[in-house]
Chain A
Amino acid sequence: MSELTSALNTLSARFLTRCAEDLPVLQQSASDATGDRTALRFVVHRMSGSAGMLGYAEVGDLAAQVDDELCATPYAGTPSLPALIDAIRVLIR
């Protein structure tokens, strides 16, 4: 196994662990639409950059959608956030 493949496998496992850690941030943001979105923005931006690279395309695409929604309307809703939360729940189940 190449060093790169081995690293991707390790990072993939780490990504799932981090998803579990990030889930409360996403849930908090989903339940408090008027709160500070800074933490949410960093979480979804990081997810959108790494999920697809590690083979989790659906989570990556949804995270990118939420990222786009935050950039377009930072104080409005993030309609894709519930779908992202659901996708992460399935992933880490």
Chain B
Amino acid sequence: MSTLRVLYIDDEPDIREVAILSLRLDPDIEVRAAESGAEALELLAKGDWLPDVVLLDVMMPAMDGPTTLARLRDLDATKQTPVIFMTARAQAAERQRLLDLGAIAVIPKPFDPMSLARELRAMVRPGVNA
């Protein structure tokens, strides 16, 4: 299976830690994490690592998920990178709003730590949207 590079952005350290370990259950997923949109943009600005997909928390202080997505779309390197929102508010209307912003999918929180990597693999098909 091809390596999938994942950038996980979430301000909540406990959830971030679980997500990182969950994604690493798949040995072919390479995950890096940022605690804010600003930190993610700094990481990307270095230019030595680009994700195949971004997992992005919606509600974060300072720069929320939708704002971070807009900033990612402003960068040539991540203009087309698939973004998946993660949110505790995944009702139909909110889900549709997030998809309309350009996300390819929405993963509800709480997520199942044992199946997050598998779920992500099913959403991101190399050559199609990654």
Which A residues contact B (CB, under 8 angstroms)? 3-4, 7-8, 11, 14-15, 42, 45-46, 48-54, 60, 64, 67-68, 71
Contact = CB atoms under 8 A, between A and B. Distances in A.
Interface residues of B, number: 19
Interface in B18-64: 18, 21-22, 25, 59, 61
Given A50-B12, A53-B113, A71-B89, A45 B17 contact: no
Contacts of B110: 48-54, 60
B82 to A, nearest CB: 22
Interface of B: 12, 14-15, 17-18, 21-22, 25, 59, 61, 88-89, 91, 109-114
A14 B109 CA distance: 18
A60 B88 CA distance: 10
Contacts of A45: 59, 88
Given A11-B14, A50-B15, A53-B15, A3 B89 contact: no
